[in-house]
Structure 1
Amino acid sequence: MENIRKSVFKIITASGTGTGFVVAGKNHVITNYHVVAGAKTVAVEDYKKDRFVADVVMVNPEVDLAFLHIEGFENTETAITLDENVGISNTQKAYIHGYPFGMPYTVTEGIISSTSQPMGPRHYIQTDAAVNPGNSGGPMLNEVGNIIGVTTSKFTEADNVGFGIKHLDLLKEINDFSFSDQAYRVKCNSCDGYTEEQTEFCNNCGNDMDISIWEEFEKSHFAKFVEESLTELGMNPVLGRAGRDFWEFHQGSALVRIFVFKRDYLVATSPMNNLPKQNLKELTEYLLQDHVSPYSLGISDNKIYISYRAHLSDIFTDHAETIKQDLKNLALKADDLDNFFMDEYGCEMAIEAKEEA
């Protein structure tokens, strides 16, 4: 089970999160097309909370599959296998692996209700296992780690019913794709050819193509502003995206979140440490003093936070550069303070913290 966990990844884009995975003998990360739609570069997070930039190298919207390439990644220890002849039958157990709602890795169990449920132009595996947003693109496995489907939760009108893209559909996509570069390619299901350049018609067979498949989501002014600050921090902003106008990333051990609050405020915050069982008087005295201006320290749900707030209108004024620097420095300050509170007051790291190597 641990090796399966190592083979399942959280996929993070500017529009939300999903799941991806690798299969034995292949280096591409597999996910749903709808998870990465509107993006050509995404973040991939592994079981250790390490993040990597991944290029989207193949999309097939009709089948709802996409392949991602991580530079330098070698798949050496996956326990997930793709077997053309794997047995799939009604009432057998199915296991959904993934990151529902962007939360930590989970496995849910159910049974297969139908091995070939027609929906629209295609047939799917149907299961009663819990499938939630965020599970999309993850592996649906049998008891020994064989792929029986690729989970998809785009059928939101279905209640207590989950669906998976058939393993044979995945196998065909893997066998058809023979490229090793990082170009973005769209597959035509009429001729099985691939097209790199945006076009209304397939270059191979003339079949109609949806030009929007090549288009990326346009960033808001706010997103551009925040990501300029993250770039100054020395990170690729792609690695910090956690949704539309929302960022979540680790600076060292500290988790940092940046978002819009009540449509009026830019907020950056970090849950650093849990409150200790002792030394509360000394800790409280420290927290009440103004040690970290322009930031503020506070307590919520028995955790110590550092936070920063600026009015959105200020990013259009002469204060813009100062705010950028404040955002960058909050991440650095949080990474310093979580160690300070642990060493000086015995405060354990918050559950959101990342263990540093």
Structure 2
Amino acid sequence: MDVQQIIESFQPAIIQIATQTATGTGFYVKEFDLIVTNEHVIGNNAEVTIAGKLFAKTLSRVWYTDRKHDLAFLEAPKNAILPELKLGNYESMKDGDQVLAIGHPYGLNYSATQGVISKIDRIRDGLKFIQIDAAINPGNSGGPLVNDNAEVIGVNSFIIRGGDNLGFALPVNYLREALQLYLPNKGQPSTRCHSCNYLVTPANIDSKKYCPSCGTEVKLPIMPEKETEPIGVSKTVEEILKELGKDVKLAREGQNNWSVKEGSAKIKINYNPENYFITGDAYLCQLPTDATRIRPLYQYLLKENYRMNGLVLSCVKQNIVLSSIVYDLDMTKESGVEIFQDLFKKADEYDDYLKKEFGCVDRLEE
């Protein structure tokens, strides 16, 4: 199987994961009906947002955490038929073997980086890791490391900062051991003690916070009675989205980033604490394929910009984008509701109008 075939076969089982503070990658293991990712991707969350090629964005329970091996298992999406990925044999791998690191680096969907195994058994903190020269960038964490037989041979885990393409993956034998350990308790929140490897569950945890085997303090991925509230501008943005009827949990895409749909338009909201601006970018349709209609389209966009107050239409590559920008100190919940309500409403209207009047085409999405 060539590289392109491997990537295409894996894409439907590669999962995007987002929390209030981070984003990452996971992959579905059909044999256990679980999504695998890194523990550092899900953080202290008992529930995260997931999305994939074959299912819409939804919430997923965190069932298992393992700080020592940096592993976490999530509930698989319901009513989604996902392909089977084969777990390979770590012992058969050797230095110099070709590998692929698959994930969502920097938010780019379904990216794959090809490389070779630099050292098959690099020891770090008492564990073996596969050292590779395929870059594991932010967002790639938790994705599969794949051999040329289209088998998962590791979980992409971390990089050494400052190192040129120096990435590390947890070998698949650790993953298989963890999956088999958790299987009898599937559907229960569980955590593996980072001191003695004992599986801690609600039934055996000591005083609700200690490992019953060695007494180490542990934390089960249990849903909190009250969700941790965001603070500052993030809190204001989420209050605005709630007021506009959006599901805030599903909208989150990492720290200070949100994404919602309004009709056929996709709106991305970002807060930059370095320049204090909140931006809302509604990605509408794409430029028409008929070149003779582009000039009239540009003229229309310029006229609309002259007419509108607080919103700007622009072209970003092939995409037509409707944008709003506001200084954080100038935005209250009330004014924010008005600003974003106007953005959402006009985004849906413009998207339909531009396709009808100028032959603009639907935006391609991965």
Per the shorter chain, which TM-score range? 0.7 to 0.9
Distance 1:199 1:275 in 2: 61
Per the alignment, residue 254 of structure 1 pairs with: 265
When structure 1 is superposed on structure 2, of 302-311 and 92-101 the one drifting more is 302-311
Q: Give the aligned partner of residue 321 of structure 1.
A: 334
Let me know the Cα RMSD of the aligned residues: 3.1
Report how far residue 25 of structure 1 moved. 1.6
2:355 to 325, 342, 345: 342
State the partner residue of 1:289.
304
CA distance in structure 1 between the aligned counterparts of 2:362 and 2:312, rounded to whole angstroms: 15
By how many angstroms is 1:345 displaced? 0.9
Aligned to 1:279, the other structure's residue is in SS state helix
Q: How does 1:1-357 map to 2 (within 5 A)?
A: 1=6, 2-47=8-53, 50-70=56-76, 72-73=78-79, 76-83=81-88, 87-178=92-183, 179-181=185-187, 184-189=189-194, 190-196=196-202, 202-209=210-217, 219-261=230-272, 263-276=275-288, 277-280=291-294, 282-287=296-301, 288-289=303-304, 295-302=310-317, 303-316=319-332, 320-351=333-364
What is the CA-CA distance between 1:112 and the residue it aligns to?
A: 1.7
Quote the Cα distance in structure 1 between the aligned partners of 2:329 and 2:207. Answer: 40
Any gaps of 5 or more consecutive residues in structure 1? none
> Structure 2 counterpart of 1:208, which letter?
T
Count of residue correspondences: 348
C-alpha change, 1:264 and 1:4, in structure 2 (3 Å) is closer
> What amino acid does structure 2 have at the position aligned with 1:267?
T
Closer, same or farther: CA 332–88 of 1 in aligned 2, 3 Å? farther
Tell me, yes or no, if the aligned pair for 2:271 and 2:279 is still in contact at 8 Å. yes
The 10-residue stretch of structure 1 (102-111 or 277-286) with the greater mean CA deviation from structure 2: 277-286
Between the aligned partners of 1:184 and 1:154, the Cα distance in structure 2 is 29
Which AA in structure 2 matches 1:90? D
Contact 1:23 1:79 in 2 (8 A): yes
1:167 shift after superposition: 0.6
TM-superposed deviation, 1:80: 1.1
What is the Cα deviation at residue 223 of structure 1? 1.9
Letter in 1 for 2:182: F
TM-score norm. by structure 2 comes to 0.83
Runs of 5+ consecutive residues of structure 2 not aligned to the other structure: 1-5
- Read off the aligned partner of 1:297 and give its amino acid letter: V
Equivalent AA in structure 1 for residue 240 of structure 2: S
Aligned to 2:3: none
Query: TM (normalized to structure 1)?
Result: 0.85
> 2:91, 2:82 → 1: CA distance?
21
Q: Once structures 1 and 2 are overlaid, which stretch shifts more, 113-122 or 262-271?
A: 262-271
